[in-house]
Structure 1
Amino acid sequence: MIERILARWRRFDVAVRDLPLGLLFLTAAFLPAVQSHGTQLGGLPARPFDALTFVAIGLECLPLAGRRRWPGTCLALVSLGFVIDQVRGYHLVSGAALAVALISAGAYGERRRATVLLYSAAYAVLAVVLFRLGTEPPEEFVTFYLLLVFAWGIGAWLRATRAAEAERRLRVAEDTRAAERARIARELHDVVTHHVTAMVVQAEAARYLTAAPTRLDESLTAITGTGRRAITDLRHLLDLLNPDHGTETTPRGSLRTLVETAREAGQPVDFTEDGTPAESSGSADLVAYRVVQEALTNALKHARGRRTSVEVRHGEREIEVAVRTDGPPGENEPGRGLAGLRERVSVLGGDFSADARDAGFVVRARIPTGSRS
C-alpha cells in the first residue's frame, strides 16, 4: 500500500513534490510561538507583522517549490525575502528557508562560480547595511557567512555524489557491454570454426573421390549438410541478440549432431551420454555443447583420422564432459577457443582442463547446472 502511494507520488512533477516543503515553512512562520524567533542578523529590534511581512514570508517560502527545477530563481527570490526580513527586523522563522535554497542551488544549479561571487558580493552589501542599522559586531556577520558557505558546500557535495554514482553506473554498463561483446565473439568463434573446419576437411577428402561417384556424392552431401547447420547456428546466435528472444538454449539441442558432423568429416568418434539432462540447467547445456564442439574442431584440425571419444554425464547438479583424442597432440595447444571455454566454465563455478598427454589430448569440464552466464 505504502509502495503504491510512493510510486504515485513520484509520478507528480518535481515542483509539485517540492511545494509541501515551502508550505511547511509558510505555516511555521505564522505560528505565534515562533514569531520573531527566527534568524536575527544585525541585532535590529523586532518589528510586529505588517503588510510587507506577508511579502517577505511569501518570497522565503513559496519559491521552494522550484528549488530543483529552477534553483537559481529559487535562490534569488528566497534571498530577496530574507533581505526584507532582516532589514525590516521581522526575524521570521521562515528565514531558515535560505539554507534550503542554498543547498538546492549547490546541488542542482549551473554557473556555480558566478553564483558564489554574485551572492557573496550581495551579502557583503547586506552586512554593511545591517551593521550600520544594528548593534552586532562584524565577526557575527562573518560567522553567518560561513554558515551560508557550509550550506552551499552540502549542495555541492550532493552534486558531486550524484555525478560519481552516474559515472559508476556508466562504467558498469560499459563493462557489461564489453562482456557481452566478448561472449558473442566466443559464440561466433565456436560456431564458425567448427563448421568451417568440418567443411574444409570434407572438401579435401572429396578431391580424391573423383573416381568413386557414389562416395563423392556422399562427401558433397556432407559438405552441404554442414553448411546448412552452420547457417542454422548463426541464425540462432543472431536470435540471441534480439531483445525479444527468451532463454538461451543449446543450438539444435543435440550433441549427437556434433558427433555425426565430425564422423562425416572423416573423424572416428565414439560417443557416450549417461543420465538425463536436467529440466532447468541454465547455461550449462550450452557450455557443455561448446566444450564438445571446440574439442572436436581441434581434433579435426590437429589429429584428423585419430580415434576420439566423447563422454557426457548428466548429474543432478552438474554436467561432466570428457573428450579424448588418441595419438600425439601435435600442434594442438590451448588457444582462443579453449581459453574462452575455460572462462565460461569458471563463470558458472565449474572446472575446466585441456591437457596434452602421451596418449593424446584430453579436454575435461565439470559444469554446475542451474546457473546463467
Structure 2
Amino acid sequence: MFASVTRSVRSWPDSWRARPRYAKDGVLAATLTLLAFVPTLSAISAELGDLPQRPPDALAVALALGQSAPLAMRSRWPAACLAVIGTAFAIHQALAYPSTFGSIGLYLAVYAAGAHQVGFRRRLAAVSTAGYAVLAVVLVGLGSPNRVPDFLAFYLVLVVMWMAGVGMRKWRADEAERRRLGADVARAAERARIARELHDVVTHHVTAMVVQADAAQYVIGAAPDRAGAGLAAISDTGRRALTELRHLLGVLEATGESGPVDRTPTLGRIGHLVEQARLSGQPVELAEHGEPRPQAVDVELAAYRVVQEALTNAMKYATGRRTTVTVHHHPDRIAIEVTSDGSTDSAPVVPSGGRGLDGLRRRLRMLDGELVAAGRPDGGFSVRALIPARSQA
C-alpha cells in the first residue's frame, strides 16, 4: 500500500505539467468546432471524395462535431482521437455532405498520433492506412472523379502530418534528455561544491584543534596556569566548526529558508582566520593593501577559502613557523599571497588527502582566476591566488 501511495505522489508533478496541455487541447477542439459552422470558412477543408453534395441535416452536424470535438483528447488518447475523427471524416465524405472547416481536424489528429502515441505506433499506422485504402475504394465505387494519383497525394499529405508529429515527439524526447543530463551535471557540480566546502571547513578546524590540543598538552606539563587559554581556544574552534557545518547542512537540506547573512564566510573575516591560527600557536602576520570593495558572494567565499586552506597547510607542515598573509585589493582583481617559513618536507601534523589545493584551483578557474602553490627558493611554501573582482549585484 505504501509503495502505491509513493508512486502516486511521485506522479503528481507529471499530471500537473500535463494539465495545461490538456486544457490547450480543449480550447483547440472548442475553437475548431465553432469555426466548423462558419459558412465562409467551408472553402478551407479536407476534401477527398468530390461527390455531388447532398443537403445538410442532423447527421451532417453530428459528423462535423465528430471531426473537431475529439481533438480535446488528442494528447491523452491520440489513437482514439484519430479513430473517431477518421471514422467521422470517412462517413462525411462517403455521404457527400457539404465541406466544413472542421474536417481540418483530420490533419491535427494524424499529427497528434505521430506526436503523442506511445505504444502500437506501427500497428496504428498500418490500421489507419488500411482504413484509408478502404475509403478510397468506396469513394471510387460511389462515383468519385478522383483517381489513384489524387488519393496518393492526399495520403502523402497525411504522411507528412504524421512525420511532423514524429519529429516533434523526437525533439521533445531529446529536449527532455538534455534537461535530465543538465540536471545530473548540476547535481554532480553541487555535490562537488559541497564536498569542497566540507573539506575546507573540516580540515581547517580539525587541524587547528589538533595543533591546539598538542600545544595544550605541552602547556599543561610546562605551564599549567596557561592551560585554560589553550583549552578555550580548542572549544572556540569547535564551535566555529559546528556553526559552519550547520550552515552547510542547511544548504544540503534545501529547505528554502534564508539563513543569517553572516553565516557565509567573507573576505572581511580573514582576520578571524588569522586570529584562530595565532591561538593555535602559529605566528601569523596579516597585511592588507588597497581599499576593500564589496564583492560578489562567490568571490568573497573563494578569497576566504584560499586563506583558510593556506593557513591549514601552514599549521600542518610548518607548525610554529612564521606565516604571512598579504591581500592586495585592486580595482579589477584581488591578489592573495600566503607564505610560510621552514622546510616543506616535514611530516604533517594530521594526515592530508591532497584535495584542498586542487579544489581551490577548480573553484578559482570557475571565476576566471588562478592559483599557484609552490615551494620558495629560500625554503618554506607560498600560495598565490588571483581572483577577478566582481561587484555585488
**Residues 39 and 14 (structure 1), Cα distance of their counterparts in 2 relative to 1, 3 Å cut:** closer
Match of 1:294 in 2: 309
Determine the structure 2 residue equivalent to 1:224. Answer: 235
Task: Give the deviation of 1:259 after TM superposition.
Answer: 1.1
Structure 2 portions without partners, runs of 5+ = 1-19
1:349 maps to 368
Query: Could you tell me how far apart the structure 2 residues matched to 1:14 and 1:70 are?
Result: 14
Aligned residues: 360
CA–CA distance in 2 between the matches of 1:174 and 1:371?
30
User: Counterpart of 2:388?
Assistant: 368
Aligned-residue offset at 1:82: 0.8
- Bigger mean CA deviation after superposition, 161-170 or 324-333: 324-333
Counterpart CA distance in 2 for 1:120 and 1:205 is 88
Matched, 1:234 2:245: yes
In the alignment, structure 1 residue 277 sits paired with structure 2 residue 284: no
Deviation at 1:117, TM superposition (A): 2.4
CA contact (8 A) 1:319 1:366 kept: yes
> How far apart in 2 are the matches of 1:206 and 1:189?
25
Alignment of 1:335 onto 2:388: no
CA contact (8 A) 2:22 2:72 kept: no
Contact 1:15 1:69 (C-alpha < 8 Å) held by counterparts: no
In the aligned structure 1, how far is the partner of 2:95 from the partner of 2:199?
A: 79
98-107 or 69-78: which moved more? 69-78
Distance 1:356 1:21, change over 3 A: farther
Q: Deviation digits for residues 31-66 of structure 1, max 9, x if unmatched?
A: 3x845x744434533434344322222211222233
What is aligned with 1:59? Answer: 66
Secondary structure class of the residue paired with 1:329: coil
Classify the secondary structure of the residue corresponding to 1:254.
helix
2-side partners of 1:102 and 1:81: how far apart? 14
Segments ≥4 residues shifted beyond 6 Å = 331-334
Corresponding residue of 1:137: 147
Indicate whether 1:181 and 2:191 are aligned.
Answer: yes
Query: Is residue 55–residue 98 contact of structure 2 (8 Å, CA) maintained in 1?
Result: no
Report matched runs for 1:9-20 at 5 Å: 13-20=23-30
TM-score by length of 2: 0.82
Q: 3-state DSSP class of the match of 1:75? A: helix
In the other structure, the counterpart of 1:4 is none
Look up the equivalent residue of 1:81 and give its one-letter code. Answer: A
Indicate conservation of the 8 Å contact 1:283/1:370, yes or no. Answer: no
**CA-to-aligned-CA distance 1:180-233 (integer Å, 9 cap, x gap):** 111110000001001111111222233333242123333222222221221122
- In the TM superposition, residue 11 of structure 1 has moved relative to its aligned partner by 10
Identity of aligned residues (%): 47
Q: Alpha-carbon deviation of 1:337?
A: 0.7
Label 1:254 to 1:309 Cα distance change in 2 as closer, same or farther (>3 A).
same
DSSP-derived class of the 1:367 partner: strand
Residue range with higher mean Cα deviation, 62-71 or 153-162: 62-71
Q: C-alpha separation between the residues in 1 aligned to 2:235 and 2:47?
A: 91
Unaligned runs of 5+ in 1: 1-9
Distance in 2 between residues matched to 1:220 and 1:141, nearest whole Å: 94
Q: TM (normalized to structure 1)?
A: 0.86
Deviates more, 1:42-51 or 1:72-81: 42-51
Equivalent residue for 2:12? none
CA drift at 1:79: 0.9
Match of 1:307 in 2: 322
Match of 1:75 among 70, 76, 82: 82
Q: Determine the structure 2 residue equivalent to 1:113.
A: 122
